[in-house]
Structure 1
Amino acid sequence: MKKIEIDTFLKFRFLSNPHFSPDGTKIAFTVSVPDRETNGYLSDLYLYDLGKKTVSRVTCAGDAKIWSWTAENTLIFTAARTAALKKEKENRTSFLYEISPSGGEAQCITSIPATVTGIRLLPNGRYLLTIRHDNYRDTRKKSYEVFDELPFWGNGQGYTNAKRNRYAIYDMGSGKLTYVADDWTDCSQYSVLGNLLLYKAYPWKQGVMGIRPGVYLYNLSTGETKTLIAPDSMRTGVVSLLDEKTALITATDDSYKDTTKYCDFYHMDLADGSMKLIHPYESSIGGSSVGSDSRFGAGQTFKAVGGEFYYISTVGDFSHLYKISRGGTVSGPLTAGSSCDSFDLAGGHIASMEFHGLHIAELFVDGEQVTHMNDWLTDEYDVQTPEAFSFTASDGYEIHGWVLKPAGFEEGKSYPGILNIHGGPRTVYSDVYYHEMQMWANRGYFVFFCNPRGSDGRGTDFGNINGIYGTVDYQNLMDFTDEVLKRYPMIDPEHLGVAGGSYGGFMTNWIIGHTDRFHAAASQRSISNWVSFEHNSDIGHTFILNNQGANTRTDVELLWKQSPLQFAPNCKTPTLFIHSDEDYRCYMAEGLAMFSAIKRNGCPAKLCLFHGENHELSRGGKPENRIDRMTEIIKWMDEYLK
Structure 2
Amino acid sequence: MKPEHLPLLNSVSPPAVHPDGSRAVVSVTRPEFDADAYTGQLWNVPLDQEKLPRRITRGVRDTAPAFSPDGLVLAFLRSDGASSKAQLCVVEADGGEPQVITERLLGVESFSWSPDSHRIVFSSREPEAGRYGSVEDVAADAEEPRLISTLQYRLNGVGYTRDRPRQLFLLDVPELGGEPAAPLPESVQLTRFTTDTASGTFSADGSAVYFAAAPSDGDDVLATSIYRVSATGGEPAEVDLPAAPPQSVLDVRESRDGQWLFFIARDLGGSGRDFVARNAVLCCVPAGGGRPVPLTDPEMMDVAAPGSRIELRGPDRVLVLNNAQGTVELLELGATGDHSLLVHGDKAVTGAAWSGGSLFVSFADPSTHGDLAVLDDGQLRILTDFSAALRTQADLVVPQELTFDAPDGYPVHGWLVRPAGKGPHPVLLNIHGGPFSQFTVALFDEAQVYVAAGYAVLMCNPRGSAGYGRDHGLAIRGRFGTDDMRDVLAFLDGALARFPTLDAGRLGIMGGSYGGYLTAWTIAHHHRFKAAIVERGFLDPVSFEGSADIGWYFGGEYLGDSAEALAAQSPLGHVARVRTPTLVIHSEDDLRCPLEQGQRYYTALKRQGTEARLLIFPGEDHELSRSGRPRHRRQRFEHILRWWARYLPTASNPAEVPQG
Within the candidate set 38, 43, 47, 2:40 is matched to 43
Answer whether contact 1:66 1:78 (CA < 8 A) is retained. yes
Within the candidate set 417, 424, 432, 1:422 is matched to 432
Per-residue deviation, residues 74-123 of structure 1 (Å, max 9, x unmatched): 32344477xxxx9xx98x9x755443445443344565677322222113
AA aligned opposite 2:413: H
Task: Output the CA distance in 2 between the equivalents of 1:253 and 1:119.
Answer: 26
Shift of 1:208: 3.7
Report the RMSD for the aligned CA atoms in angstroms: 2.7
Q: Relative to 1, partners in 2 of residues 1:38 and 1:235: Cα closer, same or farther, differing over 3 Å?
A: closer
Task: Output the CA distance in 1 between the equivalents of 2:25 and 2:215.
Answer: 35
Answer whether contact 1:241 1:304 (CA < 8 A) is retained. no
Task: Output the CA distance in 2 between the equivalents of 1:284 and 1:541.
Answer: 28
Match of 1:629 in 2: 636
Match of 1:459 in 2: 469
Match of 1:542 in 2: 553
Q: Relative to 1, partners in 2 of residues 1:332 and 1:117: Cα closer, same or farther, differing over 3 Å?
A: closer
Matched residue pairs, number?
Answer: 615
Task: Output the CA distance in 2 between the equivalents of 1:153 and 1:564.
Answer: 25
AA aligned opposite 2:516: G
Match of 1:401 in 2: 414
Q: Single out whichever of 424-433 and 167-176 deviates more from structure 2.
A: 167-176
Answer whether contact 1:169 1:177 (CA < 8 A) is retained. yes
Q: Single out whichever of 150-159 and 161-170 deviates more from structure 2.
A: 150-159
Q: Relative to 1, partners in 2 of residues 1:8 and 1:234: Cα closer, same or farther, differing over 3 Å?
A: closer
TM-score between the two structures when normalised by the length of structure 1 = 0.89
Task: Output the CA distance in 1 between the equivalents of 2:66 and 2:627.
Answer: 23
Task: Output the CA distance in 1 between the equivalents of 2:280 and 2:623.
Answer: 26
Within the candidate set 357, 371, 384, 2:366 is matched to 357
Match of 1:609 in 2: 616
**1:590 and 2:597 correspond:** yes
Within the candidate set 506, 514, 532, 2:543 is matched to 532
3-state DSSP of counterpart to 1:115:
coil
Q: Relative to 1, partners in 2 of residues 1:313 and 1:582: Cα closer, same or farther, differing over 3 Å?
A: same
**1:248 and 2:247 correspond:** no
Task: Output the CA distance in 1 between the equivalents of 2:345 and 2:483.
Answer: 32
Q: Relative to 1, partners in 2 of residues 1:287 and 1:62: Cα closer, same or farther, differing over 3 Å?
A: farther
Shift of 1:597: 0.8
Match of 2:658 in 1: none
**1:167 and 2:159 correspond:** no
Match of 2:531 in 1: 520
Within the candidate set 320, 334, 337, 1:325 is matched to 334
**1:270 and 2:269 correspond:** no
Task: Output the CA distance in 1 between the equivalents of 2:641 and 2:253.
Answer: 45
Answer whether contact 1:299 1:343 (CA < 8 A) is retained. no
Per-residue deviation, residues 570-596 of structure 1 (Å, max 9, x unmatched): 110000011000111111111111111
Show the 5 A alignment for 1:216-227.
Answer: 216-220=227-231, 223=234, 225-227=236-238
Answer whether contact 2:602 2:613 (CA < 8 A) is retained. yes
3-state DSSP of counterpart to 1:493:
strand
Match of 1:132 in 2: 125
AA aligned opposite 1:313: N
Q: Relative to 1, partners in 2 of residues 1:514 and 1:38: Cα closer, same or farther, differing over 3 Å?
A: same
Q: Single out whichever of 182-191 and 349-358 deviates more from structure 2.
A: 182-191
Shift of 1:634: 0.9
Match of 2:653 in 1: none
Within the candidate set 15, 27, 48, 2:12 is matched to 15
Q: Single out whichever of 272-281 and 381-390 deviates more from structure 2.
A: 272-281
Match of 1:26 in 2: 23
**1:556 and 2:557 correspond:** no
Per-residue deviation, residues 165-195 of structure 1 (Å, max 9, x unmatched): 1111112359342222224242124443322
Match of 2:657 in 1: none
Per-residue deviation, residues 392-435 of structure 1 (Å, max 9, x unmatched): 211332111211212x312xx42211100011112212333212
Q: Unmatched 5+ residue regions in structure 2? A: 175-183, 650-660
Q: Single out whichever of 449-458 and 302-311 deviates more from structure 2.
A: 302-311
Q: Unmatched 5+ residue regions in structure 1? A: 290-297
Match of 1:200 in 2: 212
Task: Output the CA distance in 2 between the equivalents of 1:128 and 1:461.
Answer: 39
Match of 1:146 in 2: 146
Q: Single out whichever of 483-492 and 462-471 deviates more from structure 2.
A: 483-492
Shift of 1:162: 1.8
Q: Single out whichever of 596-605 and 196-205 deviates more from structure 2.
A: 196-205
Per-residue deviation, residues 247-296 of structure 1 (Å, max 9, x unmatched): 1234466756412332444332333443234553334544435xxxxxxx
TM-score between the two structures when normalised by the length of structure 2 = 0.87
Answer whether contact 1:168 1:180 (CA < 8 A) is retained. yes
Answer whether contact 2:28 2:40 (CA < 8 A) is retained. yes
Match of 2:626 in 1: 619
3-state DSSP of counterpart to 2:447:
helix
Shift of 1:566: 0.6
Task: Output the CA distance in 1 between the equivalents of 2:338 and 2:454.
Answer: 48
Task: Output the CA distance in 1 between the equivalents of 2:429 and 2:9.
Answer: 25
Task: Output the CA distance in 1 between the equivalents of 2:393 and 2:156.
Answer: 37
Show the 5 A alignment for 1:326-405.
Answer: 326-334=335-343, 337-366=346-375, 367-405=380-418
Q: Relative to 1, partners in 2 of residues 1:579 and 1:115: Cα closer, same or farther, differing over 3 Å?
A: same
AA aligned opposite 1:62: V
Q: Relative to 1, partners in 2 of residues 1:637 and 1:548: Cα closer, same or farther, differing over 3 Å?
A: same
3-state DSSP of counterpart to 2:278:
coil
Match of 2:655 in 1: none
AA aligned opposite 2:326: D
Shift of 1:40: 0.6
Q: Relative to 1, partners in 2 of residues 1:184 and 1:434: Cα closer, same or farther, differing over 3 Å?
A: same
Answer whether contact 1:21 1:73 (CA < 8 A) is retained. no
3-state DSSP of counterpart to 2:198:
strand
3-state DSSP of counterpart to 2:370:
strand
Answer whether contact 2:26 2:65 (CA < 8 A) is retained. no
3-state DSSP of counterpart to 2:440:
coil
Shift of 1:379: 3.9
AA aligned opposite 1:127: I
> What stretches of structure 1 move > 6 A for 4+ residues in a row?
none
Q: Single out whichever of 160-169 and 558-567 deviates more from structure 2.
A: 160-169
Match of 1:105 in 2: 97
Q: Single out whichever of 187-196 and 445-454 deviates more from structure 2.
A: 187-196
Task: Output the CA distance in 1 between the equivalents of 2:229 and 2:320.
Answer: 23
Task: Output the CA distance in 1 between the equivalents of 2:438 and 2:630.
Answer: 25
Per-residue deviation, residues 487-512 of structure 1 (Å, max 9, x unmatched): 12332222100011111111111111
